[in-house]
Structure 1
Amino acid sequence: RWMVGPSVALSDTTGTATFHVTAAATSSSLHEPRESFVEHTPRVAVAKRIEVKTERLDALANTIGLAGKRAFLKLDVQGAEAAVLAGASAVLPQLRGILTELSLVELYTGQATALEVHQLIGGSGFELWDVWQGYRNPQTQRLTQVDALYFRPSQA
């Protein structure tokens, strides 16, 4: 059963942050797209910037009914994966699995690398279960993002 939470940007802090709204809404992020990304994919250019409320997933757990449940987390946060995971230290032990994007190259300024995110998830007791193609640079065909599925060894 899918659950959609309140309109906030998940992060490692509670407060506000600039959200970069791109022409392709699905590429919008707390991190600004790098110029090299915009050059080969113009639809990720920032169309406007807005201030948004940020919240830790740990703080939202009770509000959205996640506390105490063995849930599955899907992260699609355009470069903010490490911050979301850092803000979920109390929730992570409850999770059965995680599906997340991993960037093989820096598409957004300041984002964590695939290896860094992989290590954060692995350090929380999850094992990599499957990986599949996410996004390729349309000019070079270089694979730049993958989707990665993680489970706890006891949940797989």
Structure 2
Amino acid sequence: MQTLYRRLLRLMPRLGVEVTDLAPGAALVSRSTARYSVTGADKSTWIVRRTKNGAADDTGGGSAVRLGESGAVLLMDGAAREDERRLQLAAAEYLCTQHVAAMLDLYGVNCVFDVGANTGQYARRLRRLGYRGRIVSFEPAPETFARLEQAAASDPDWRVYPCALGREDTAAALHTGWKTMNSLLAPSDYGKDRYGRFATSDTAQIPVRRLDGIMDEALEGLAGPRPFLKMDTQGYDLEVFAGAGERIAEFVGLQSEVAVLRLYEGSPPMAEAIAAYETGGFGITGMYPVTREATTGRVIEFDCVMMRADAAPTP
């Protein structure tokens, strides 16, 4: 989805059409009322055009599939149709980000705690989706934090902290050199079999803080705080959650990466993590696959979005 599409992308909203890349050869087009179809101009370009009947289009080696009565169309070329796993995961990521943005808006969230921020991908995505509230990001790996700090420098309401969050205030050894998979936990045997990057690692001593000890500073200046907790800490999410103590009741929602097949030693199974979140007053609003085994199709991890129903706005 490059070249001509990139040039046309800025014009699409004027026609009421939005085009979102999912993966090479696949995209999602959304429009609430008008009819349209797509033509594959070449292997990396889609041309969106209006039609009279809104029928699926198979010209140019591409296809357009209507997604029920949603007013959206899934665009695919032959390669995208053949790579089912890649397409499914890309679609799940898109649906998850759209759902989170909708929940932040519905619940009036004005502060997102971005725990395990890496270089700020999650925060930048929220901004692209229209979230304008405060973001507070935590990233303990020194080199990665430097890139996060640079990403946030031009955003006055995006704060960054060079630490991990956990059950207690302490110092710990972080396994580094695993790119987006750096963790305070060692890899499991299953993780070692799946990812070659786990074969070697360096460690860095990093500070760990409790969430409840940093909340006042993070929420300072907000009238009527409505925080949301996003956790992506490579097996350490439940420790972050525990570090909120009784103040977890102040959060209107959360997002956690929960594992069906554990990549890290000591990480909780999915059922244990979800049970703890439910005990804390949160209910599931969405589950989206993050990774799947190519050979078996089994889901390894889900992004689980949960909200506190009693915090929802009154109709």
TM-score, length basis structure 2? 0.46
Q: Matched residue of 1:144: which SS?
A: strand
Show structure 2 runs of 5+ residues with no match.
1-132, 138-159
Deviations 1:100-122 (A, max 9, x none): 10001221010111111101110
Q: Matched residue of 1:105: which SS?
A: coil
Higher RCO, Cα 8 Å, sep 6+:
1
Residue 45 of structure 1 and its aligned partner are, at CA, apart by: 4.1
Residue 46 of structure 1 and its aligned partner are, at CA, apart by: 4.3
Show structure 1 runs of 5+ residues with no match.
none
For residues 59 and 133 of structure 1, do their structure 2 counterparts lie closer, same or farther at Cα, with a shift above 3 Å needed? same
TM-score, length basis structure 1? 0.90
User: Where do residues 100-115 of structure 1 align in structure 2 (5 Å cutoff)?
Assistant: 100-115=256-271
* Alignment partner, residue 56 of structure 1: 210
For residues 38 and 139 of structure 1, do their structure 2 counterparts lie closer, same or farther at Cα, with a shift above 3 Å needed? farther
In structure 2, give the amino acid aligned to 1:32.
A
Q: Matched residue of 1:53: which SS?
A: strand
2:172 corresponds to 1:17: yes
For residues 41 and 155 of structure 1, do their structure 2 counterparts lie closer, same or farther at Cα, with a shift above 3 Å needed? same
Q: Distance between the aligned counterparts of 1:37 and 1:140, measured in 2?
A: 16
Q: Distance between the aligned counterparts of 1:69 and 1:34, measured in 2?
A: 39
Q: Distance between the aligned counterparts of 2:176 and 2:188, measured in 1?
A: 14
For residues 20 and 48 of structure 1, do their structure 2 counterparts lie closer, same or farther at Cα, with a shift above 3 Å needed? same
Q: Distance between the aligned counterparts of 1:51 and 1:73, measured in 2?
A: 25
User: Where do residues 52-91 of structure 1 align in structure 2 (5 Å cutoff)?
Assistant: 52-65=206-219, 69-91=225-247
Residue 6 of structure 1 and its aligned partner are, at CA, apart by: 1.2
Residue 86 of structure 1 and its aligned partner are, at CA, apart by: 0.8
Task: State whether residues 292 and 301 of structure 2, in contact with CA within 8 Å, keep that contact through their aligned partners in structure 1.
Answer: yes
In structure 1, give the amino acid aligned to 2:283.
E
In structure 1, give the amino acid aligned to 2:214.
L
Max radius of gyration: which structure?
Answer: 2
* 1:3 aligned to which of 136, 153, 167: 136
Residue 91 of structure 1 and its aligned partner are, at CA, apart by: 2.7
In structure 2, give the amino acid aligned to 1:3.
V
Residue 64 of structure 1 and its aligned partner are, at CA, apart by: 1.7
Q: Distance between the aligned counterparts of 2:271 and 2:211, measured in 1?
A: 22
Q: Distance between the aligned counterparts of 2:242 and 2:287, measured in 1?
A: 22
* Alignment partner, residue 27 of structure 1: 181
* Alignment partner, residue 14 of structure 2: none
Q: Distance between the aligned counterparts of 2:302 and 2:200, measured in 1?
A: 23
Deviations 1:68-107 (A, max 9, x none): 7211110001100111111012331111110110001221
Task: State whether residues 21 and 46 of structure 1, in contact with CA within 8 Å, keep that contact through their aligned partners in structure 2.
Answer: no
Task: State whether residues 190 and 262 of structure 2, in contact with CA within 8 Å, keep that contact through their aligned partners in structure 1.
Answer: no
Task: State whether residues 40 and 139 of structure 1, in contact with CA within 8 Å, keep that contact through their aligned partners in structure 2.
Answer: no
* Alignment partner, residue 37 of structure 1: 191
Number of aligned residues: 155
Task: State whether residues 73 and 98 of structure 1, in contact with CA within 8 Å, keep that contact through their aligned partners in structure 2.
Answer: yes
Task: State whether residues 11 and 86 of structure 1, in contact with CA within 8 Å, keep that contact through their aligned partners in structure 2.
Answer: yes
Q: Distance between the aligned counterparts of 1:93 and 1:105, measured in 2?
A: 29
Q: CA RMSD in A?
A: 1.8
Shifted more, 45-54 versus 120-129: the winner is: 45-54
